[in-house]
Amino acid sequence: SQQGEEDPQALSIQEGENATMNCSYKTSINNLQWYRQNSGRGLVHLILIRSNEREKHSGRLRVTLDTSKKSSSLLITASRAADTASYFCATALVNTDKLIFGTGTRLQVFP
Amino acid sequence: AAGVIQSPRHLIKEKRETATLKCYPIPRHDTVYWYQQGPGQDPQFLISFYEKMQSDKGSIPDRFSAQQFSDYHSELNMSSLELGDSALYFCASSLVPVDTQYFGPGTRLTVL
């Protein structure tokens, strides 16, 4: 079964609104990373949050991590049409260096 | 800043042919990862190398092999290609294992 599951699967908002995406996972992790992918293109790294961290910010991005609930959220504030993409969470499990990706959230921001 | 380089960017092969994908990590990165992303799916881990040694292995078919060379670049060799091998293949690199992984632009493999 999937290590990481994201919800919603799809999200449509207007420019200027905030977008929140959630990620849940099953087993203990070293860190959790968020990536953005434009249709059929490469994966762009957004932010990494370690298992001993609870919140990180980067520009308009805010990521939280709750290891007790095995969940993370990505908040994009004041969204722009250019934020339209798929967003994936990826977990680095303990004792391994591979990333296991979630199912992704497709974000559409309308101008 | 230098990024991960992958070549070729697009590759079209016939069934049962072989393919070689190349990856050049970010300078000073000694860990390389390979992922496969099928249409509409999330990326799936294939294999990784640290200091030229295989460090982890995922759901990589026996028809695939990979290695990391002395200059840290890596190659993914795929033989007896099947239609289901059509996918985006990503290489990623990190400065050390269990750190931020930076992805290349991917190689889109189409098997006809």
Predicted confidence (pLDDT) per residue in A63-101, tens digit: 999 999 999 999 999 999 999 999 999 999 888 878 999
- Taking alpha carbons only, the member of B4, B9, B5 closest to residue B88 is B9
In this predicted model, what pLDDT tens digit does every residue of A14-36 receive, in sequence order? 999 999 999 999 989 999 999 99
Provide the domain count of chain A: 1
| DSSP three-state, residue A61 | strand
Q: Of all residues in chain B, what percent carry a pLDDT higher than 90?
A: 89
In chain B, the domains with their CATH numbers are 5-111 (2.60.40.10)
Please indicate whether, in this complex, the C-beta atoms of A97 and B45 are within 8 angstroms of each other: no
Core vs surface per residue A84-100: b (16+ CB within 10 A) or e: bbbbbbbbbbeebbbbb
| Weakest-pLDDT range from B24-28, B63-67, B72-76, B92-96 | B92-96
Alpha-carbon Rg for chain B, nearest whole angstrom, is: 13
User: Tokens 């493999």 correspond to what residue?
Assistant: B109
Task: Please name the residues between 16 and 45 in chain A that touch chain B, using a CB distance below 8 Å.
Answer: 30-31, 33, 35, 40-45
Domain that holds residue A51: 4-110
User: Tokens 């207007």 correspond to what residue?
Assistant: A14
Question: What DSSP element (H or E) covers B28?
Answer: none
CB-closest option in B42, B48, B104 to A102? B42
Position A5, amino acid: E
Question: Using a CB-CB distance cutoff of 8 angstroms, which residues of chain B are in contact with residue A99?
Answer: 33, 35, 43, 45, 92, 101
| Weakest-pLDDT range from A97-101, A107-111, B14-18, B32-36 | A97-101
Q: A36 with A85: CB under 8 angstroms?
A: yes
The CATH code of the domain that includes A90 is: 2.60.40.10
Residue contacts between A and B (CB atoms, under 8 Å): 58
User: Tokens 């200027």 correspond to what residue?
Assistant: A16
Phi, psi (rounded to 5 degrees) for A27: -120, 170
